[in-house]
Amino acid sequence: MNKSKVIFLLDMDAFYASCHIAQNPNLKDKVVVVASPNRRAIITTASYKARSFGIKAGMPLFKAEELCKDVYQIDSDFALYIKYSQMVFDIIYKNFSKKIEVASIDECYIDVTHVWKKYKTVKNCATVLKDLIYKETGLTCSIGISVNKFLAKSCVDFNKPNGVSILLPDKIKEVLWPMPVKEMFMVGSATEEILNNNEIYTIQDLAKSDVNKIYKILGKRGLTLFLWANGGGDNNVESDENEFRSIGNEFTLNYTTADIDEIEEMIYELSLKVCDRAKKRFLKGKTISIVLKYEKNKDTTFNKKEHKKHRNHQSSLEIPTNEHEVVYSVAKKCFYDVWTGDPILLIGVRLANMIDDINDKKQLKIEDINLYERVNLNDIQKIIYDLELKFGNKNIFTGDKLIKYNQKNRGQSKYLEDDDVHLSNKQVIEKWKTKKKD
C-alpha cells in the first residue's frame, strides 16, 4: 500500500445501544434494544447480546419480545448519541487525521495516507486508533482498510465487533466476487431484484456483465456498482462536507388515525420540534417535506422491504426558513397533497437543503434605520426584539460573540450529515388521546 492512498472506514459497533451501555455499565449483561416503547415500534439498534437471540435492527419490538422475554427496551436519546459521536470524531481529528468524511453519526472515512507509517503498519495504526477510542469513550469500533472507500466499506464487517480488516484490489476475486450481490453497499432489495431478474446473482456476475446492459437496467448508479465490483471506486475523502443536510422528526403511532384535527396537531408539534432544533444550531432550510406510512392489513406478515415504503412529499421555498409558522403551513399543504384519506401509522416532518444562518446573513447594526422593515419581522418578533432591546436579554449578541456562541452550540453536531429523531410518542400521544376524549 506504499504507493496507494490508505483509506479507513470506521464503524462504531451497535452504536446507539453501546452509548447507553457506556453511560450505564449495569446494562452490559442485559438484552438491550433501542426503540420507542410501543410494541409496533421498530428496533433502531440491538446490542450484541440481543443479536445472539436473533434480534436485529429493523425488527418490530414485539417480535424481539417473542425471541427473548428479557428484552430491555430503551428510548432513543439523540443528544447522547451526538455527544459520543462528537467524542469519537474529535479523537480522530486531534490524534490521527484531519481528513475525515462523515458517512453517518456512527461511521466515517479517514484518509491516513500520510499518517500510518509512523505506526509501522496500517493494521497497527487502526488498532491504536480503535484502542484509544475505547479508552476515552468505552465504545468499541471496527475498521475496514483499503485503497478506496468502497473496498474499505466492504470489509469492515469481516471482523466485527472490535476488529480490523484489510481488503486490497488483488484479493477481490477471492474474497468479494463469491458474495451475493445483495451484500454490496447501495444494493438494496429493489436493486437486488432487478439484478437477479437479469441473471446477476453474485458480485462476480456483476463484474463480468456487459457494462452497457448494466447501464440500461440501472442507469448511472449501475455504472458505479460495476466499477465497485471490479475493485474501483472513489478514494477522495470529502472533509469539507461535514455539515447538516437535514433535520427531521417522526414517530410511529400506537394506534392509527384518519382524524384530520388530530393529524394537523401532530404536524404542528413535529414542525415545532424541527424548528426548535434548527434554531439551536443556527440553521435554516429551503425544503420542507412530510413523511407518511399507512396501516397494513393485519393478516399481512411483516416484510422489511414493504415496511420501508413510506409516502413522501416535499415543497421548496425561495427563502430558507426555520420559522415554525412557515414550516407548519408548508408541511400541512404537503400532507394534503399526498394523503389518500386512509388511516396513518407513522408521520414525520423534515427540513432540508440547509444553510448556516450566521454566515449567510448580513450583519445588522442596532442603530440601523427602519430595522423592522429591513429584517421583515412579524408583529410577535417585533415585540420580542423590543423586549430584548429594553431589558438586555442574553440572547442579544454582537456579531463576533454570536459567531463564537454559534460555534460552541453547534460543536457537538458539526460532523453530522443528517439529524433525524424518531420520537418516543408516549407523552404526546397521551395528550392527544386526552384531548380527543374532551
Active site residues: 107
- Could you give the CA distance from residue 230 to residue 175 in angstroms, rounded to a whole number? 12
Say if residue 11 carries a ligand binding annotation: yes
Q: How many CB atoms lie within 10 A of CB 415?
A: 23
Amino acid identity, position 382: K
Cα–Cα dist 410/164, whole Å: 32
Q: List Cβ neighbours of 430 (8 Å cut-off, separation of 6 or more).
A: none
Identify the CA nearest to 45 among candidates 17, 64, 69: 17
Q: How many residues in total does the chain contain?
A: 438
For 137, half-sphere exposure in the C-beta direction (CA atoms, 13 angstrom radius) is 28
Taking alpha carbons only, the member of 8, 15, 54 closest to residue 31 is 54
CA distances from 219 to 135, 191, 203 (A): 45, 11, 18
Locate 350 and state its grid cell: 423534515
Task: Using CA atoms of 377, 381, 384, 389 in order, give the dihedral in degrees to the nearest 10.
Answer: -10
Sheet (strand 31-34) strand order: 45-46, 31-34, 71-74
> How many angstroms separate the CA atoms of 207 and 87, rounded?
39
379 is in an annotated binding site: no
What Cα–Cα distance (Å) separates residue 149 from each residue in 6, 100, 166? 9, 12, 12
Q: Cell for 233?
A: 471506486
Q: Which residues make up each annotated binding site for Mg(2+)?
A: 11, 106
Annotated binding site: 11, 106
